[in-house]
A and B are shown apart, each in its own frame.
Chain A
Amino acid sequence: MIWLGVAAAAVLVIIIVAVSGGDDETTDTTAAATTTAAPTTEAPETTEAPSDTTEAPSDTTEAPAETTTTAAAAAPIRIAIVAPSASNDLAFTQSIVDGVNAIAAEREIAEIAITDGTFVVDDAAAAIRDYAANGFDLVVAHGSQYGGSLQEIAPDFPETSFAWGTAADTFGLPNVFAYEAASDEGGFVMGVIGAALTESGTIGIVGPIEVGDAKLYVDGFKAGAEANDSGVTVNINYTGSFSDVALASEAAQAHAAAGADVMSGTAQMVVGAISVAADQNILWFGTQANQATLAPEIVVASQVYKWEVVLSDILDKVAGGTLGGSSYVIDLENGGLVLEFNEDFTLSDDVKALADQTVADIISGAIVPTE
């Protein structure tokens, strides 16, 4: 019997060795590891990357030696990101990773370091402090739950710039930027489209917890749907968890039972809901990243965050010696929010025109999605 156990342990060891030593076969990903992007690296086309299962979306295999040879030109900057879920979650964390990678394509960045999966705030705080102590120029704390930690850490590193999102508050600290997304704008537009597409007159939305970015998006979607058709019913279900995929799946089942034929949802656990929607042929609107790859036949459109708009300005300020103090909002007007339509889903010209008009109205200020 003991040998069975030893054999089991041996199998586990073999698995571990196989995985950790598997770099030759599998392309390195940005996940759970610090990666180095040389400034000359080609632009990683992450937002449009086909989700091949074994290939990582970003190209990060450039030799680090090249970094040092080309870095001298314009004081290249080192950026670190700390985020709660996986880098490729097709949601919140992926949005910032994609954003930084997009920036790296445009300007010289000496190093990008990513620590993802830190849903435990204390782990995130430790990572933030480590990066600051290791001389990173900009440390991005990507999670509203990290605010308290950042407020303690930032004053200890006055030479380091910090960015915190999604949030509006810089704590009055000179070396903290805040950034958030006007996710209600894209939500509004997609709500308008959803109301135009529903046949049953019922729309279901799955959210995590009724705060911050999620609440903004859900409220915007509901307002848009009702603005287009006051007769439409919008059911909302906050599951109470950012990570409970099974509960999100059941929330989608509940929406389906209530008659919804159009759904949307926000945060990383919605993958469970999308899967249910796909099974029941219910239309889906995504947010935070392009979710078309998850269910090409039902995803109509996704609101994609382009944090590079914000990051670009922050990097300009940092280069100019300003380490913080201002807060940013990405929206449709400044191009930080983009609606990406699923090419595999055919949308009528009428609806497309309605969407474009709504976008234009929001940018012009004719429509204010939520108060």
Chain B
Amino acid sequence: MSDFFTEAVLIATVAGAIRLAVPLLLAALGETFGQRSGVLNLGVDGIMLLGAFSGYYTVLKTGNVWYGLLAGIGIGVILGLASSLISVTLLAEQGISGIGVYLFGLGMSDLLFQRLVGTPVPISKFPKIDIPGLSDIPWLGGMFFSHSVVVYLAFLAVPAAMFVINRTTFGMNIRAVGENPEAADSLGVSVSRVRWATVTIGGTFAGAAGAALAIDLGIFQQNLTNAQGFIAIALVYFGAWRPLGVMAGALLYGFVNSLVLQFKTLGIIPQSWSDIAAMAPAIITILALVIVARRFRAPSALTKPFTRGT
């Protein structure tokens, strides 16, 4: 256990937690917008996978990580718009249609990878930025202020999302549409326009999350996200549909995973526990979900398509 309390290991644990949290945080923040407006998009993981591939492939071809991130965002926008069409305008059953988007993304990203790349080739990664001054702080600097640039961007997105949801008319419309679309509609708020916007935002974030994951790992592989998109959806519930809660959930998830990895690496947990340890994050999440479910309520109109009349 004493091996654990060294500077290098503690920094790695916290920094690792933050790195693991980033794709989840991005995807879950985007999904928060959709769910607050009443649309559950189960296709997040599929969008992440296509975002990941397009980001990876763009970096492979151009060598520019920013183009890669933009490509992931672009794919996210396209798939977000497609998801909007399916679930908002065509009123599809959200529990099923999202799975369709997921399977499409899972299969398509692998097919594209096999067709266009084949054998995995490493790509360049996001530059790491040491924040002047802060990164020199002993211990804390390495934990929080010496990360790749998307890490900072992802965490800056949290207050931005809070601001949009709580302080803007658009955010107020989102909350109203997710809770009582009939009421919003009766006051001239276009339910479908708001939902198109939020689902597209969700797709954009998911695409960015996928690209961030692939470019941070510097590689692509079949099913690269390993169902992180679904964990992101669970984190939205965990975070009680609030950006801060979502961030707390993503960090907790990242931290548990990172801690388990460190403990296993240092032999603090026997290797024979690896399966049990692998379940820990899921168990913690389920427990937290049970607690959240008692204290917070989901948006009333979540998963319910809206049509005017009757």
Assess A/B contact in the complex (Cβ within 8 A): yes
- Interface flag for B167 (CB, 8 Å): no
CA A269 – CA B16 in complex, angstroms?
17
- Interface flag for A41 (CB, 8 Å): no
Given A243-B223, A271-B120, A272-B219, also A253-B12 (CB < 8 A): yes
User: Are A5 and B84 in contact, CB atoms less than 8 angstroms apart?
Assistant: yes
- Interface flag for A247 (CB, 8 Å): yes
Chain B residues whose CB sits within 8 angstroms of the CB of A357 once the complex forms: none
Given A235-B266, A236-B271, A271-B219, also A8-B16 (CB < 8 A): no
B contacts with A, residue count (CB < 8 A): 64
Chain A residues whose CB sits within 8 angstroms of the CB of B16 once the complex forms: 250, 253-254
Within 8 A of B (CB), among A1-27: 1-2, 4-9, 11-12, 15-16, 19, 22, 26
Chain A residues whose CB sits within 8 angstroms of the CB of B11 once the complex forms: 257
- Interface flag for A76 (CB, 8 Å): no
CA A295 – CA B81 in complex, angstroms?
38
User: Are A8 and B79 in contact, CB atoms less than 8 angstroms apart?
Assistant: yes
Within 8 A of B (CB), among A220-268: 235-241, 243-247, 249-251, 253-259, 268
Rounded to whole Å, the gap between the CB of A198 and the closest CB of chain B is 16
Chain A residues whose CB sits within 8 angstroms of the CB of B60 once the complex forms: 53
Interface string of A79-100 (1 = CB under 8 A from B): 0000001101110000000000
Chain B residues whose CB sits within 8 angstroms of the CB of A256 once the complex forms: 12
Rounded to whole Å, the gap between the CB of B51 and the closest CB of chain A is 14
User: Are A86 and B110 in contact, CB atoms less than 8 angstroms apart?
Assistant: yes
Chain B residues whose CB sits within 8 angstroms of the CB of A88 once the complex forms: 114, 118-120
Within 8 A of A (CB), among B64-97: 77-82, 84-86, 89
CA A240 – CA B257 in complex, angstroms?
11
Chain B residues whose CB sits within 8 angstroms of the CB of A254 once the complex forms: 9, 12-13, 16, 258, 261-262, 264-265
Most buried by B among A16, A249, A295: A249
Rounded to whole Å, the gap between the CB of B172 and the closest CB of chain A is 20
Chain A residues whose CB sits within 8 angstroms of the CB of B262 once the complex forms: 254, 257-258
CA A251 – CA B114 in complex, angstroms?
27
Residue of A53, A243, A244, A271 near B118 (CB, 8 A) is: A53
User: Are A275 and B219 in contact, CB atoms less than 8 angstroms apart?
Assistant: yes
User: Are B265 and A258 in contact, CB atoms less than 8 angstroms apart?
Assistant: yes
Given A12-B82, A243-B226, also A258-B9 (CB < 8 A): yes
Given A12-B78, A240-B274, also A251-B261 (CB < 8 A): yes
Most buried by A among B60, B85, B112, B277: B85
Residue of A19, A236, A243, A250 near B111 (CB, 8 A) is: A19
Nearest A residue to B7 via CB reads A257
CA A330 – CA B86 in complex, angstroms?
52
Within 8 A of A (CB), among B187-219: 192-193, 196, 213, 217-219
CA A125 – CA B267 in complex, angstroms?
37
Interface string of B1-17 (1 = CB under 8 A from A): 00100001101110110
CA A5 – CA B115 in complex, angstroms?
27
Chain B residues whose CB sits within 8 angstroms of the CB of A86 once the complex forms: 110, 113-114, 221-222
- Interface flag for A294 (CB, 8 Å): yes
CA A227 – CA B166 in complex, angstroms?
63
User: Are A275 and B78 in contact, CB atoms less than 8 angstroms apart?
Assistant: no
- Interface flag for B116 (CB, 8 Å): yes
User: Are B223 and A6 in contact, CB atoms less than 8 angstroms apart?
Assistant: no
- Interface flag for A191 (CB, 8 Å): no
User: Are B9 and A119 in contact, CB atoms less than 8 angstroms apart?
Assistant: no
User: Are B261 and A250 in contact, CB atoms less than 8 angstroms apart?
Assistant: yes
User: Are A246 and B118 in contact, CB atoms less than 8 angstroms apart?
Assistant: no
CA A210 – CA B60 in complex, angstroms?
34
User: Are A210 and B12 in contact, CB atoms less than 8 angstroms apart?
Assistant: no
- Interface flag for B146 (CB, 8 Å): no
User: Are A278 and B115 in contact, CB atoms less than 8 angstroms apart?
Assistant: no
User: Are B272 and A210 in contact, CB atoms less than 8 angstroms apart?
Assistant: yes
User: Are B219 and A240 in contact, CB atoms less than 8 angstroms apart?
Assistant: no
Chain A residues whose CB sits within 8 angstroms of the CB of B110 once the complex forms: 32, 86, 117
Nearest A residue to B57 via CB reads A53
Nearest A residue to B196 via CB reads A1
CA A32 – CA B106 in complex, angstroms?
13
Chain A residues whose CB sits within 8 angstroms of the CB of B19 once the complex forms: 250, 253
Rounded to whole Å, the gap between the CB of B39 and the closest CB of chain A is 13
Rounded to whole Å, the gap between the CB of B121 and the closest CB of chain A is 5
- Interface flag for B32 (CB, 8 Å): no
Interface residues of A (CB under 8 A from B): 1-2, 4-9, 11-12, 15-16, 19, 22, 26, 29, 31-32, 51, 53-57, 85-86, 88-90, 117, 119, 204, 209-210, 235-241, 243-247, 249-251, 253-259, 268-269, 271-272, 274-275, 278-279, 293-295
What are 19 A-B contacts defined by CB distance under 8 Å? A6-B85, A7-B81, A8-B79, A19-B111, A32-B114, A236-B271, A237-B265, A238-B264, A239-B274, A240-B278, A243-B223, A243-B226, A246-B20, A247-B257, A254-B264, A254-B265, A255-B265, A275-B217, A294-B219
What 5 A-B pairs come out closest when comparing CB atoms? A5-B85, A240-B278, A257-B12, A8-B81, A31-B114
Q: A117-B110, A247-B261, A254-B12 are in contact. List 17 more A-B contacts (CB 8 A).
A: A1-B196, A8-B85, A51-B118, A86-B113, A88-B114, A90-B119, A209-B274, A210-B272, A235-B265, A236-B264, A247-B226, A253-B16, A258-B262, A268-B221, A271-B221, A275-B122, A275-B125
Interface residues of B (CB under 8 A from A): 3, 8-9, 11-13, 15-16, 19-20, 23, 60, 77-82, 84-86, 89, 108, 110-122, 125, 192-193, 196, 213, 217-219, 221-224, 226, 228, 257-258, 261-262, 264-267, 271-272, 274-275, 277-278
